[in-house]
Structure 1
Amino acid sequence: MEKSKLQLFAEAIQGKKIVYLYRVKEDAATANAEGIAFTTENGRTKSKDADSTATKDGSIRTPGVAEVEITATSILSKGDTMIDKLESALDGDKVIEIWEVNLEEEGTSDNADKYKAKYFQGYLTEMEITSNAEDFVEVSLTFGINGNGVDGYATVSEEQQEIASYVFADTQKTGA
């Protein structure tokens, strides 16, 4: 049975269900990947230049190498250490690992407790911190990616999922 356009829209993925997690690669043995607090927007762009060669029969296009960029924009959170880690990685030319995780697509039985993801490595190539008198401080990041990324499944903890939504909390005291 064919689905109507309205049914297809009902299955559309909300932007907040695609989360990005980051880690400085040299910290892989000691730290989990983290999200950036108060992210307002993420993006991934894949582009490829092509050269044209004129021939008697018309032009021939020769595709170049694909380039991938990932962007993130967030409101700066007081005490956010991830922004500091990323800025240090920018200053030190350190490789950053990035996971683009789709929380709407859970793994199969082979990948239980995991979500469909794309894994990247690259460098933070641009960081802009904007602060004006009327709004919150905004941080914009651009990552230049090595290669094209790899598909797989990523483990996402409850804490990491809080990036996308609230996690249920019980009514009992938490033992602060």
Structure 2
Amino acid sequence: MRNTMNLQLFADAVRGNKIVYLYRIEKDASKNAAAALAFTTENGRTVSKDADTTETKDGSIRTPGKTEVEITATSILAKGDTLLDSLEDAMVNDEKIEIWEANLDEPASSGDNKFKGKYFQGYITELEKTSNAEDMVEVSLTFGINGTGQKGDVTVTTEQQEIASYVFKDTTKTEA
């Protein structure tokens, strides 16, 4: 029996830089649009669930607990970055954060600059700034999410998409 592999499976894989995260402090929703962290090197979303085990005469019974969601972000600190300062203040003051996860490889059918994604609300549970002598300053954030988030279409502006990759520009003169 000959094993063959369908290489097309790899051609359809989503690259990490196509999943973008946007953040906003909830109380600032009327003043600010969501923004991406500059120089993001890694994001993650973990969905976990504990389960209790009850031993019976017939064997173990597993009872699932509540689903927990955690989002992480790691970025290089940009000079003059105000978003990270605002997020740190929000952590200290127990302010709720809104987070959008968008997959730039999956445009939504609902309009321009809309992508399939998820919306979350939660709190920053950890912020770490690492500054060693040989590398750039790195900032890591952990968000504890309320509930499990909601699926929907996420608006990602052209400027925000540039975070993930270059956006095509024509040779014509651009507006200032």
1:59 and 1:175 mapped to 2: Cα distance?
68
Instruction: Report the AA paired with residue 89 of structure 2.
Output: S
For 1:87 and 1:31, locate their aligned partners in 2 and report how far apart those are by CA, in whole Å: 17
Please provide the CA RMSD for this pair: 1.3
Match of 2:42 in 1: 41
Question: 1:86 corresponds to which residue?
Answer: 87
Query: How far apart are residue 112 of structure 1 and its match?
Result: 1.1
- Deviation (angstroms), 1:152: 0.3
**Corresponding residue number in structure 1 for 2:111:** 112
Instruction: Tell me whether 1:23 sits opposite 2:35 in the alignment.
Output: no
Give structure 1 stretches of 5+ with no counterpart.
Answer: none
Report the alpha carbon displacement of residue 170 of structure 1 after superposing the two structures with TM. Answer: 4.3
The TM-score normalised by the length of structure 1 is 0.93
- Output the CA distance in 2 between the equivalents of 1:174 and 1:88: 37
Equivalent in the alignment of 1:9: 10
Over the matched positions of the two proteins, sequence identity in percent amounts to: 68
CA offset digits 1:53-103 (Å, max 9, x no partner): 111101111000011000000000111111011101101100000001000
1:129-162 Cα offsets, whole Å, 9 max, x none, are 0001100000000000000000000111011111
Verify: 1:127 aligned to 2:109, yes or no: no
Structure 2: gaps (5+ residues): none
Instruction: Tell me, yes or no, if structure 1 residue 64 matches structure 2 residue 81.
Output: no
Counterpart CA distance in 2 for 1:131 and 1:173 is 41
The whole-number CA distance in structure 2 between the counterparts of 1:168 and 1:134 is 34
Q: Equivalents in 2 of 1:153, 1:174: separation in Å?
A: 29
